[in-house]
Chain A
Amino acid sequence: MLGGYAHRIARIDLTSGKVEYFAPDPKDLEMYVGGRGLGVKYVFENGPQVDPLGPENLLCIMNGPLSGTRAKMSGRLAVVTKSPLTGTVTDSHMGGWTAAKLKWAGFDGLLIKGASEKPVYLLVKDGEVSIHDASDLWGKTTHEVHRLLQERHGKEADVMAIGPAGENLVRFANWLNNDERAAGRGGTGAVAGSKKLKAIVVVGKQDKMPQPKDPELWKEADRLASATINDPKNVTAPKKGGLSLYGTNVLMNITNVMGALPTYNAQHTCIEGAEKISGEYIREHRLIKDNTCHACPVACKKMVEVHINGKTIRFESYEYESAWALGAHAGHTDTDWTGYAIYLCNAFGMDTIEAGNAIAVLMEATEKGYYQGEDGIRFGDKEGEIRILEAIAYRKGVGDMLAEGPARFAKAIGHPEIALEVKGQSIPAYDPRGLKGMGIAYATSNRGACHLRAYTPASEILGVPYKTDPLAWEGKGKLTKLFQDLSAFTDSLDLCKFSQFAEGPEEYAKQLAAYWGRPVSPEEILKIGERIYNLERYYNNLAGWAEGSDYLPKRFLEEPSDCAGSKGQRTELDLMLEEYYRERGWEKGVVPPAKLQELGILSQAAD
């Protein structure tokens, strides 16, 4: 038996209230590992045609073989389902301790189907899952639910909850846990809302931590991984490296001077005063505490305090993506209002990236006269922004249309071109005119526009693993494939993406081999990553995202960048796509049967 697992998954039917348990097939574990990979396998088996907000959709809450172990940065939880925003398979990950506690509670995953008539929450404890009434919690914010359920089940209980946005089926509603870590993207919170599932409480103690099958190899693997993460020269180095000191928001000033920060709904590629919402500024003026996740020495999470109308609000975390989406993208760089907007998205349970795009699209539509309702807002209107965020969460006025996602909103008002989306999901904080690799990464991401499937800025900005010119398109297709495969694998372990700033396939392979108790090579892990990426793509092809669905918003292809660093640049998508498809062995975005067979997907799918 492979080590690292609880060898127990719960199947929960919220329609009938029945809970069953099974041990995952060892063949599936070897092929898909856990976390994202195994979740995608289950979502695939559930069928690509289901209505994402119907009871037949499957919501997977997964951890991986290294979750809850002493492996560094092993605190990630994967939420995998069919996305109501994109109609693709999606996976979204949260940090903190939920994944570890789920393992300690005796589970590798929870597969949730059906829909309850009245609101419920799940209690996961001692290898059992029970369903409880949540009528008193319905309507409450995520923060209130965390507090109430921890009062009921103890401070040690981990709580992940949806907010009003999830209840109201906002298509980009998310999950937030009691450490304020979000499984942000793709609307997995709306899937929970459609099932009337308000929260999941996980109780588990560390004494249930799985032990490695090969303790000697583990010692060596852990020593190497820890040493490279702690190497004082790496960005992950605790209290020394840039990621540890400033968090992800260390990027704000960098992308701004590169002309790679989309602002005013990407009508521009930089903004005056970006410094005011940057990691450096926050550390100096608003930071309360550096927080961390299970088994992570890096502690990149920033707890901050902002001040609005005489009130002080404390929250976590002032991330780069959130600060961009709710600040620069909306045409302002106000430290406190941006922070307040992040806090509100957390409270309502909405993805900050998608919410920021919704605000920016409404602002452009209002300024251009495409939207003429009284509740329209203009760039830089911070108070208006707060009003609209609330309107989205509760589906009031224009908020009701925006809750369908910026892509659907822009289409409904007759101007689809102002939505900066791919497959229905909006872009994050990198402009592909200033970082060409992001263009191909957005276009070919299996969950819609996303920076986390293939983080090309690692190479284009940070020179990891090798430096490429941010303005050159050559080689970016190849780089994107490598990153997509590597990340699909680490998302299945499930380790934090930032581990890749210090670790590579050798370190991952050693750690997994020590837990599994059988040799694992670096080549094998990239093969697993490739298999997962192809299975996702195959699912999407069957769900209707076929030829021609790897596109970019017209703005990036036609309107040149106007800021220093990338002035005059457009994204050469077609050239990059050609290179990328060649690397992948795909035909215009469609996985051919030969590839599915080569990776063992097709024969397995037919089993």
Chain B
Amino acid sequence: MPKVNLYATFRDLTGTSQLQVEGRTVGEVLANLVRRYPQMREELFEGEALAERVSVFLEGRDVRYLEGLSTPLAPEATLDLFPPVAGGGLEGRFGALPPWLLEHYLTEWGGRKLADGTYTLPGARVRFAEAAPLAVGSLSIPQLWVEVEGEEAGAWWKRIVLAASRGGG
């Protein structure tokens, strides 16, 4: 049965961070999820379509770049569901940035740990969580979901984006 990881406010809404949901396509899994947690309907759908603001990732790929709600799912598939960020916050996912390294920088920049995956910085709150790695061929690339909220969110976000910059060759 496909696995579903929930992040940020989705966790508050459902009281869980991971669950297993029946379904052979992304659409079926989300419909079954809504059946179990009706409060998620408004978050996930606009009419019959996937809401513009939510991000649904299958093994690290945005399902919008795949086949949307019709994207087929293997029984062992993992979906990551990210809510839109509230109130001028910023969020994104970074590849190849280990969580411990981000924590190191948050501390170095004067941050204070509030709970696992939550730090305060002057004028901002940062939350982060490991998302399902992006799987392509024989490669697997770790993905870190990061959200920054607060008055100084813009400046701190820039700093995190710069620290996360990587390329390759």
Binding site for B on A (CB under 8 A): 224, 227-228, 231, 233-235, 242-243, 245-246, 250-251, 253-254, 257, 279-280, 451-452, 454-455, 457-458, 461-467, 469, 471, 482-483, 486-487, 496-498, 500-506, 522-523, 526
In contact, A458 and B167 (Cβ under 8 angstroms):
yes
Partner of A457, one of B61, B65, B164, B168: B168
* A350 CB → nearest B CB, Å: 21
Q: How many angstroms between the C-alpha atoms of A505 and B167 in the bound complex?
A: 10
Give residues of chain B (49-68) contacting chain A, Cβ–Cβ below 8 Å: 60-62, 65
* A537 CB → nearest B CB, Å: 19
Q: How many angstroms between the C-alpha atoms of A30 and B19 in the bound complex?
A: 53
In contact, A245 and B138 (Cβ under 8 angstroms):
yes
Complex: chain B residue closest to A457, CB-CB: B168
Q: How many angstroms between the C-alpha atoms of A501 and B167 in the bound complex?
A: 6
* B88 CB → nearest A CB, Å: 20
In contact, B169 and A498 (Cβ under 8 angstroms):
yes
Q: A231-B98, A458-B167, A505-B163 are in contact. Are A242 and B133 (CB under 8 A)?
A: no
Give residues of chain B (154-168) contacting chain A, Cβ–Cβ below 8 Å: 161-168
Partner of A497, one of B60, B138, B169: B169
Interface size on B, residues (CB 8 A): 34
In contact, B61 and A504 (Cβ under 8 angstroms):
no
In contact, B168 and A498 (Cβ under 8 angstroms):
yes
Complex: chain A residue closest to B168, CB-CB: A458
Partner of B168, one of A462, A469, A471: A462
Which A residues are in CB contact (< 8 Å) with B100? 227
* B128 CB → nearest A CB, Å: 14
CB of B119 closer than 8 Å to a CB of A: no
- Name 17 extra pairs, CB < 8 A, besides A235-B139, A458-B166, A466-B164: A224-B101, A227-B100, A228-B101, A231-B142, A246-B138, A254-B139, A452-B169, A458-B95, A458-B168, A465-B94, A465-B97, A498-B168, A498-B169, A500-B166, A500-B169, A506-B163, A523-B162
Which B residues are in CB contact (< 8 Å) with A234? 96, 98, 141-142
Which A residues are in CB contact (< 8 Å) with B139? 235, 242-243, 250, 254, 462
Which A residues are in CB contact (< 8 Å) with B96? 234-235, 462, 464-465, 501-502
Which B residues are in CB contact (< 8 Å) with A227? 98, 100-101
Q: How many angstroms between the C-alpha atoms of A462 and B169 in the bound complex?
A: 11
In contact, B134 and A467 (Cβ under 8 angstroms):
yes
In contact, A463 and B163 (Cβ under 8 angstroms):
no
Q: How many angstroms between the C-alpha atoms of A461 and B162 in the bound complex?
A: 20
In contact, A464 and B95 (Cβ under 8 angstroms):
yes
In contact, A242 and B168 (Cβ under 8 angstroms):
no
In contact, B137 and A253 (Cβ under 8 angstroms):
yes
Which B residues are in CB contact (< 8 Å) with A231? 98, 142
* A129 CB → nearest B CB, Å: 31
In contact, B164 and A467 (Cβ under 8 angstroms):
no
Give residues of chain B (36-87) contacting chain A, Cβ–Cβ below 8 Å: 60-62, 65
Q: A458-B166, A462-B141, A463-B141 are in contact. Are A224 and B104 (CB under 8 A)?
A: yes
Q: How many angstroms between the C-alpha atoms of A227 and B98 in the bound complex?
A: 10
Q: How many angstroms between the C-alpha atoms of A253 and B139 in the bound complex?
A: 11
* A39 CB → nearest B CB, Å: 18
Partner of A482, one of B62, B165, B168: B165
Q: How many angstroms between the C-alpha atoms of A314 and B20 in the bound complex?
A: 50
Partner of B95, one of A253, A280, A465, A523: A465
In contact, B98 and A504 (Cβ under 8 angstroms):
no
Q: How many angstroms between the C-alpha atoms of A467 and B166 in the bound complex?
A: 12
